[in-house]
Each structure stands twice: as C-alpha cells, then as structure tokens.
Amino acid sequence: MKFLDLAKVHIRSGSGGAGAVSFRREKFVEFGGPDGGDGGRGGDVWAEAVDGLNTLIDFRYQQHFFAKNGRAGMGKARTGADGAGVTLRVPVGTEILEEDQETVIADLTEVGQRVLLARGGNGGWGNLHFKTSTNQAPRRANPGQEGVERTLWLRLKLIADVGLLGLPNAGKSTFLAATSNARPKIADYPFTTLHPNLGVVGVDGHEFVVADIPGLIEGAHEGRGIGDRFLGHVERCAVLLHLVDGTSDTIAEDWRTVIRELELYGGHLNDKPRITALNKVDALDAEARAAAATELREACGGEVFEISGVSREGLTEVLRALRAEIAAARAAERDATQEEEPWRP
C-alpha cells in the first residue's frame, strides 16, 4: 500500500427538498384545504477517524463526496424523505484544513471522533404551513435550502511516541529495524526512506511507537529534499531521537544542520525533549570513537549515547532513556488536562 499523507477533497451537502403545494380533494369533503407536506432535509457530510488506516491513499482515487438531496414534499401532508449523508473515513491523526491549508477545522486524534464538515439544507415548508384565517387556500410553498459546497485538505500526522531525526544515511532505518519488527528499506545511499515508517519498540515490558521519517538536509525548511514534508509526523511525538553518523568527518556540523532545520521549521519541534545518539560506533576504532563522542558532546552540550543498529550495542540504554522521557511527557499532559477540567462537587 502506498503512503499518502496529504489529499484534497471536494464535498457538498445535500439540498433540502421543496415544499409541496397541494389541496385535499376527497368525496363528501366540501372544504378540504391545503395539505402540502414539507421537503426532506439534505444529507450531511461527516469525517470520522477509524481504526485500521494509516494512509490517505483512498482519497487519491476519489476526491468528490456529495451527499444526497432531500426529496420534495407531497400531498396528504407527507414529508419528503431525508437525503443520505456521506462519511469520510480517515486515519487517526488526520487534520482537516480549509482550502488555504492553514486554517485547521478539526484534528481527529482518537478512534471514533467525528466532525460535521457540511450540514445539509433544511427542507422547504409546504403550503399547509401558510394557512391562516384570511388565507385558507395558500398557493405558496418554500424551496429547500441549498447545501454547502467546500474544498478541504486532509493532512495526516502519524501518532507516535518517538520521532527519529538525522541527516540522510544516519542509520535511522537500521535503528528501527533493529529495535522493532518494522522492515524499512535499508541501503548504502542517501534517501532510501521515501515515506515515514512506524515500528513498535519494547523495553523492560513497556512498548511505544517509533516513527522514522526521511532524512533532513540543509535548506529543508525551504523545500529542499523531502524531509521537511514529513516533519509534521513527529510534531505529536513525546520525544525526539537525533541520530548522528559516527563515521562522518563533520559530526558537529551534521548535528547543527538538523537542529537549525528544526528551529526554522517551527511547530514547537525544537522545544520537545531530545536525546542525542552517536550511531555506527561499530565501524570506529577506540580512538576515533572517543574523539567522535567528545566532538558531539561538545556540540550538543549534553549526554550522548553511543549506539550501533548493526551490532545492537547501546540500544537497550537509549530505549530506556526514551521510555523515561515518554512517561514524563505523558504525566505532564495528564496534569495539564486535570488543571483545565473544572472541579465538580
């Protein structure tokens, strides 16, 4: 299945049915009077987050979603049938935006969440509603209300606990493959990862989800490369794991390049907890490894984990550190939620 995280859709709710102009005509009923029924309501357009989807690929092949119109009213005070609605089934983590791609209408982060995108038009009144003491045979009925037509964008942001960051070929896919059952593409050339990959990682009896995105390069915030397009997938993460290639000749500059792109991208990514790891240490001798770790430690100003996805060295330690950061972030979120909720006796 192909991965698609951005899709444009056109929606239209149903128009209401017209009211009827009708009069009761029965044998032995001298003054039947008006009996025109109301029109039915037009169908609504909804979006619902469902389980089992992790891409917007379905919206590549169908972009138009039109609800049915309500049926017109009929004689004998019969109301027209309501139009059938339409529901867009989207993956959990989907944002719905206006046509400008900036105004967020809804953010569906839980299974079963629903949002009304376009309300169907009301049905028109039949002439039965317009009968008065001075106008006992009205020949007037209302037309149905028009439906709403909109163009929207769907943007998927994966729900993950940890986001992997780094330059192309920093070993992110190898790390994901070594710590989970995910099988991302791995090769000895840059940009082998063309779309985000998710893996479930376990440590000390706890599990969390790790997202691997394409590598960042300098100028990514301006559209260079493909990594900037997928940075939105790590906006929801509790912690970022920044992998730096230990075999590079410019370790400190590699670290600064990614940090600079996070700052320029925005979205509070640079404010998230971040763990730094020197990767591919199995390819270094003791002297080169110590020099690389020292250079990276001086650049980031904090602790540096020395790991290898190939030899699996240091993986357990870094996973435990990630687990601790996730637990702290989730606890802070719960405390913030409790403070926002009003006290009830």
Spatial distance between the Cα atoms of 63 and 169, rounded to a whole number of angstroms = 36
For residue 240, which phi and psi values (nearest 5 degrees)? Answer: -110, 135
For residue 151, which phi and psi values (nearest 5 degrees)? Answer: -115, 125
Question: Is 120 annotated as a binding-site member?
Answer: no
Number of Cβ within a 10 Å radius of residue 280: 24
Question: Is 126 annotated as a binding-site member?
Answer: no
Question: Is 309 annotated as a binding-site member?
Answer: yes
Question: Is 281 annotated as a binding-site member?
Answer: yes
Question: Is 174 annotated as a binding-site member?
Answer: no
Question: Is 243 annotated as a binding-site member?
Answer: no
Spatial distance between the Cα atoms of 37 and 20, rounded to a whole number of angstroms = 6
Question: Is 194 annotated as a binding-site member?
Answer: yes
For residue 149, which phi and psi values (nearest 5 degrees)? Answer: -115, 130
Question: Is 310 annotated as a binding-site member?
Answer: yes
Question: Is 191 annotated as a binding-site member?
Answer: yes
Question: Is 172 annotated as a binding-site member?
Answer: yes
337: Cβ–Cβ under 8 A, 6 or more apart, which residues? Answer: none
Radius of gyration of the chain measured on its C-alpha atoms: 29
Question: Is 83 annotated as a binding-site member?
Answer: no
Question: Is 171 annotated as a binding-site member?
Answer: yes
Question: Is 40 annotated as a binding-site member?
Answer: no
Question: Is 214 annotated as a binding-site member?
Answer: yes
Question: Is 196 annotated as a binding-site member?
Answer: no
Question: Is 311 annotated as a binding-site member?
Answer: no
Question: Is 282 annotated as a binding-site member?
Answer: yes
Question: Is 169 annotated as a binding-site member?
Answer: yes
Question: Is 231 annotated as a binding-site member?
Answer: no
For residue 326, which phi and psi values (nearest 5 degrees)? Answer: -65, -45
Spatial distance between the Cα atoms of 267 and 323, rounded to a whole number of angstroms = 23
Question: Is 308 annotated as a binding-site member?
Answer: yes
Which letter, b or e, does each residue of 193-207 get, where b requires 16 or more Cβ atoms within 10 Å of its Cβ?
A: bebbbbbebebeeee
Cite the annotated binding site by residue number. 166-173, 191-195, 212-215, 279-282, 308-310
Cite the annotated binding site for Mg(2+) by residue number. 173, 193
Cite the annotated binding site for GTP by residue number. 166-173, 191-195, 212-215, 279-282, 308-310
